[in-house]
């Protein structure tokens, strides 16, 4: 069980062979690594499932290997998105092994041992999460990291960026995936901890460009700009690179519509104005300083519920985006432009949660 989707294991992977799994997309959501939040957003799971499947099918058409096998109907039939008559929330995938680095303490700091990841290993999830950035909208973590000492040249930039800036060419960030709290690492460090060769790392970067471009094309169907997003990779049982988890959805990407956020960022912005968010930031800092593995255990508060009107707007945004990006019109939702207009009006009426 994950924070937003559950994994059903149909056939376990072995050391040599991939297994089969099914993602059951829920109506839960998560922000700031908290896990399950106190609300459910109706139809969100189905919207994510259909949109993610559509993106995987487009990647396949472009010759990019993925772990996607198809969508599962309520009758148990495996289909592609073009065969759907109504929304579904179950996706079938190939399963690989997830090898978690061993955690230990050194001089009061939490460290991780990645020695099991070698260039001869097969059939496993890369312990990395890669972020592509086509723009730097307000709310991007880049600005927080720049304030903390990151230099623009570390990101491949020749100047200090401004919120809302569009980049001439994409930049890529990489972070850990299987630690208690994700942390950004350099590309040489990422290559080392994942046990990649130089050629494999080059293949990762080349595929990132193609995936980013394809997601941008899909988002443009709904007049959305693909600002940034996250991608995960694995090696199959022949150590061939494939895209895994889910790509191209409102949870994996940060899309904007004429400068306005249309993604999970809406919930993030709501919660950033709460006391709970300040408690989360303090707990993470304290956990880092003291080598505490579970920062949530020292957080002083729990997240409040979403504003009911905002919750309805978010629900419609997920469904409308799935309709217009896929062209399938499976969800009963207003047009995206109308929902964005309602969201703008909401923002004008609400300065805080």
- Give the pair of three-digit tokens for residue 290: 């003291």
Name the pLDDT band for 320 (thresholds 50, 70, 90). very high
pLDDT tens digit sequence for 37-81 = 999 999 999 999 999 999 999 999 999 999 999 999 999 999 999
- pTM surpassing 0.75? yes
Q: How far apart are CA 280 and CA 300, in angstroms?
A: 8
Can you read off the two tokens belonging to residue 65? 């290997």
From CA 32, how far away is CA 34, in angstroms rounded?
5
pLDDT digits (tens, 9 = 90+) for 199-251: 999 999 999 999 999 999 999 999 999 999 999 999 999 999 999 999 999 99
Any idea which residue has 């609400």 for tokens? 350
Angle at 316 between CA 86 and CA 141, to 5 degrees: 115
Give CA–CA dist 333/330, Å, rounded. Answer: 9
Domain containing 260 equals 5-349
If you average pLDDT over every residue of the chain, what do you get?
Answer: 93
Tally of helices (H runs) and strands (E runs) in the chain: 8, 15
Q: How far is it, in rounded angstroms, from Cα 112 to Cα 178?
A: 10
- CATH number of 141's domain: 3.30.470.20
CA distance 328 to 334: 14
- Structural domains counted in the chain: 1
Tokens of 319: 């469904």
Closest to 299 (Cα-Cα) out of 290, 286, 313: 286
């Amino acid at each position: 069980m994950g924070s937003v989707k559950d994994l059903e294991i149909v056939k376990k992977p072995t050391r040599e062979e991939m297994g089969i799994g099914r993602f059951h997309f829920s109506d839960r959501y998560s922000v700031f690594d908290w896990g399950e939040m106190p609300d459910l957003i109706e139809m969100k799971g189905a919207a994510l499932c259909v949109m993610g499947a559509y993106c995987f099918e487009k990647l396949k058409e472009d010759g990019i290997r993925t772990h996607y096998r198809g969508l599962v109907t309520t009758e148990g039939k495996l289909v592609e998105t073009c065969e759907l008559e109504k929304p579904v929330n179950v996706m079938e995938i190939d399963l690989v092994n997830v090898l978690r680095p061993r955690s230990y303490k050194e001089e009061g700091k939490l460290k991780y041992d990645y020695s099991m990841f070698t260039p001869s290993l097969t059939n496993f999830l890369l312990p990395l999460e890669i972020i592509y950035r086509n723009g730097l909208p307000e709310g991007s973590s880049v600005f927080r990291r720049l304030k903390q000492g990151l230099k623009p040249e570390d990101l491949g930039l020749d100047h200090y960026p401004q919120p809302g800036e569009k980049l001439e060419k994409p930049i890529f960030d990489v972070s850990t995936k299987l630690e208690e709290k994700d942390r950004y690492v350099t590309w040489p460090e990422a290559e080392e901890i994942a046990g990649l060769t130089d050629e494999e790392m080059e293949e990762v970067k080349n595929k990132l460009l193609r995936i980013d471009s394809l997601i941008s094309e899909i988002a443009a169907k709904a007049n959305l700009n693909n600002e940034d997003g996250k991608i995960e990779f694995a090696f199959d049982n022949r150590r061939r690179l494939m895209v895994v988890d889910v790509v191209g959805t409102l949870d994996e990407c940060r899309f904007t519509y004429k400068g306005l956020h249309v993604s999970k960022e809406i919930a993030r912005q709501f919660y950033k104005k709460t006391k709970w968010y300040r408690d989360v930031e303090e707990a993470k800092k304290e956990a880092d300083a003291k080598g505490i593995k579970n920062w949530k255990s020292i957080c002083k508060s729990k997240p409040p519920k979403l504003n009911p009107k905002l919750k309805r707007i978010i629900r419609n945004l997920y469904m409308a985006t799935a309709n217009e990006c896929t062209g399938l019109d499976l969800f009963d939702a207003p047009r995206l432009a109308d929902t964005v207009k309602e969201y703008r009006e909401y923002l004008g009426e609400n300065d805080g949660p």
